[in-house]
Amino acid sequence: MPSTSRRDALRLLAAGGVAGLAGCSSFNLGKSSPNEKPPASLGTSWSPSEDAWPFPSGDPQNTAQSPDGVPSQPTVEWTDGTGGDSVAAEERGDLVAATPSRVVAARQFDDGVHLRALAADGTRQWDRRLEFPSEHPNPRYGGLVDGSLYLVGAGNDVVALNAADGTVRWRRNLYEQVAEDVPAKFLLRNGSSEDFAAMLLATPETLYVQTPYGIHGLAPSDGTEQWRLRFTAELSDTVLARPVGLAVTDSGVWASYAWPAPLLFAVELGEDGPRIQRTRLPFRDYPGTPVAVSDRTVVLASGVTWSTRPGETLAVGATTNDTEWQFPGHTGEGGAAYSRLATDGERAFVCQATEQPERMVVSALRTETGKLEWSHRESLADRDVRVADGQTFRLCQTVVAGDSVVVGFGQRTDGAMDRGAILALSRDAGRVRWRADIPVAPEGVMVTRDRLYVGGQRGGVVALGTRRS
């Protein structure tokens, strides 16, 4: 999810004819396009184990929810890669997946990614460096499913790793698979195949890959393309770009895009083939990844991580037919940071931090109506962080853990140990249950049966013990 300046935001909205995308439209592809290979089935009934966190946002629906709760005051059991100078050059870090036996974390380097698996006690199990033919590998992680860890890097290189030892099971370039069938305008925007950017979400039956063309179904066994469906912006000579993310439900797929406007696509199978519905989202800049509340309802937060031009809309509720509600965000002066959204089904939880006033606000919204149920305001004025510095300030992924909502914030430092804090709020009222200071600027949280893992901006991992006596 990007950080946006005023100049970037203006450039994002400079596409001609964006107004023509307002509202919702649908189209039935059937066999009208000679390059289409309609799927025999769509969606998944599979659910991951309740004591694991195999996706960056928890599950194929991106709910970021776990039934496992946390005790009144967890303690730091161990840390890995949280030093200052040793990781100063590696500024991006990700939590990839977590199970009761291991957590997988990643750091991005100039032309690839370094993955490492840590046992539940913090010992290193394996390391794997993957190189991608690009100065901007931008790895994205598609889940740990049936023992395989899936990711895509440098636009469209899809990789499957053995989660037990880190060995590569297969690696395929999606661009090379589709280049002969897909029109060049979907593949090359600036003369480079790297612009055929891809997002990935794995299920046991199908690997769903989102590209500027649309969605592609790959075989989990070897990565071969089984089918593809084309999306359209319905603008003359305009091709979709900047895919944001996917959500997969029992009966369909949701996908969001940032260009030529914030767009949401819903795909389901009908009697006459795939039915695709498109909705223009009321975000100023990037939309977030869809979070599926049901087969026909999603919520989305702003996809911007930090901006000096705050958007008027913080969160949106949408169905396959239209936008149902929108919740306003901070529109004052100064910088603002945003977190990814989590849901317990009844409520959507979203967090934002502002420079003026210097505070963090957590909001609980009813998923059906967008009505504010409660909010928690946390002053950051005395927390030794600077919301105004978009390069170093971070808000953490919001997650639901049992009957708590976990949020966090922090600051990256130069040549020293990063710092941050994690808070647990009661899910029903937003009251603070506990706070914990941690030696990372938190970006991701993953919950397993007895631990809460926090991932830092530069790839550090902190394990908080959550085992109850």
Map residue 412 onto helix, strand or coil.
Answer: coil
Assess if residue 37 is contained within a domain.
Answer: no
Q: Encoding tokens for residue 434? A: 């506990």
Assess if residue 36 is contained within a domain.
Answer: no
* Domain extent for 188: 6-29+43-465
SS3 breakdown of the chain: % helix, strand, coil, rounded to 5? Answer: 5, 45, 50
Assess if residue 170 is contained within a domain.
Answer: yes
Return per-residue pLDDT of the chain as tens, 469 residues.
455 433 333 333 333 333 344 455 554 443 445 568 889 999 999 999 999 999 999 999 999 999 988 877 889 999 998 865 455 444 678 999 999 999 999 998 888 899 999 999 999 999 999 998 776 678 999 999 999 999 998 778 999 999 999 999 999 999 999 998 888 888 876 666 667 889 999 999 999 999 999 999 999 999 999 999 999 877 666 789 899 999 999 999 999 999 999 999 999 998 888 999 999 999 988 999 999 999 999 999 999 999 988 778 999 999 998 999 999 988 888 999 999 999 999 999 999 999 999 999 999 999 999 999 999 999 999 888 999 999 899 999 999 999 999 999 999 887 677 899 999 999 999 999 999 999 999 999 999 988 999 999 888 999 998 655 3
Assess if residue 239 is contained within a domain.
Answer: yes
User: Which residues, at least 6 apart from 3, have a Cβ–Cβ distance to it below 8 Å?
Assistant: 304, 305, 306, 307, 390
User: What residue type is 93 in one-letter code?
Assistant: G
pTM of the predicted model as reported, rounded to 2 decimal places:
0.91
Asked whether the beta carbons of 260 and 210 are under 8 A apart, the reply is no
Assess if residue 1 is contained within a domain.
Answer: no
Q: Which of 400, 393, 398 is nearest to 408 (CA)?
A: 398
- Residues 437 and 358: their CA atoms lie apart, in Å, by 19
Question: Partners of 109 in the beta sheet?
Answer: 112
CATH number at residue 389: 2.130.10.10
Assess if residue 334 is contained within a domain.
Answer: yes
Assess if residue 220 is contained within a domain.
Answer: yes
Asked whether the beta carbons of 452 and 80 are under 8 A apart, the reply is no
Structural domain count, the chain:
1
Assess if residue 34 is contained within a domain.
Answer: no
Query: Using omega within 30 degrees of 0 as the cis cutoff, is the peptide bond preceding 137 cis?
Result: no
Q: Encoding tokens for residue 127? A: 């390391």
